[in-house]
Amino acid sequence: MNHIVLGYDGSDFSVQALDWALDEAELRKLPLTLTHAWQWPYGQAEEEAKAHLRKAAEHVLWHGAECARATSSGVPVETDLYEGPAAQRLVELSSGAALVVVGSRGLSALPRAVVGSVAGYVAAHAECPVIVVRGAGPLPASANPGPIVVAEKGPDASIMEFALDEAAMRQVPLATTEDVTAWAARHPEVRILPGDDHDAATLVVVGRRRAARAGAANFLLQHAPCPVAVVTEGRSDR
């Protein structure tokens, strides 16, 4: 778990996800891997036709990597070009990643029934935490960023550790309706706020079991006003 993985397809949604992934890489002092998946969508094809599509995919990935290198403060950036479904590749790469970041639209290869998108599928099946960044275009800079919100009843240690780490790295409070005294002692610098209001949050954190089901987590992934982190319960993601 020594790098951040970003699903990148050149869309406005993946540009916003790139901003978030670079922040994570800088805060965690980890390299960033941009992955772009492509596949011929029309059945059998001549190799020449597929070569043109691959060349276009290479350009999308190159452009994303160049943008990342130009806007970061020295984050090492690697690339991964994959022929096949985007969701499959992101789940594969999650096994060796500290974090996967993906936009809330774009990377369209799955029916919307699967929590709405590739992002939803990856959030439900990845082996590391996943942050789904909602919206299109560059992330707006906030002079007064909101708290990290734990939207989970009875969260376990892995969820709380992730949320507290994010709050500590970003120097923002943590908001929850739960008693987190035992976990908060590990991060005395993080201010704990009562409540779980999502409207002003910097990031909402939920457990993967909840995200794998329809209902509240499905709504969060599609409608939350901020990025949503999905964390596996019952394991440490450090």
Q: Given this model, what pLDDT does residue 113 score?
A: 40
Q: Given this model, what pLDDT does residue 156 score?
A: 86
Q: Give every CB contact of residue 225 below 8 A, 6+ residues apart in sequence.
A: 134, 198, 199, 201
Q: What is the DSSP letter of 102?
A: E
The Cα 121–Cα 34 span in angstroms is 18
Q: Given this model, what pLDDT does residue 155 score?
A: 81
Average of per-residue pLDDT across 192-216: 78
- Encode pLDDT of 117-137 as tens digits: 788 889 888 999 999 998 656
Say how many C-beta atoms besides its own lie within 10 A of residue 83's C-beta.
13
Q: Do 4-133 and 148-231 come out as alike in CATH topology?
A: yes
| CATH class in words for 148-231 | alpha beta
Residue 167 confidence class, pLDDT cut points 50, 70, 90: very high
Tokens of 172: 């923002």
The residue type found at 123 is: A
Q: Which of the pair, 104 or 163, is modelled with greater confidence?
A: 163
> How distant is the alpha carbon of residue 142 from its chain centre?
19
Nearest CA among 93, 91, 95, 77 for reference residue 32:
77
Residue with tokens 């790469």: 93
Instruction: Decide if domain 4-133 falls under CATH 3.30.420.40.
Output: no
- What's the whole-number average pLDDT of the chain? 85
The pTM (predicted TM-score) of the whole model is: 0.89
Which sequence spans correspond to the domains of the chain?
A: 4-133, 148-231
Nearest CA among 198, 149, 148, 141 for reference residue 168:
148
- Encode pLDDT of 51-110 as tens digits: 888 999 999 999 999 999 999 989 999 999 999 999 999 999 999 999 999 988 644 443
Q: Given this model, what pLDDT does residue 223 score?
A: 73
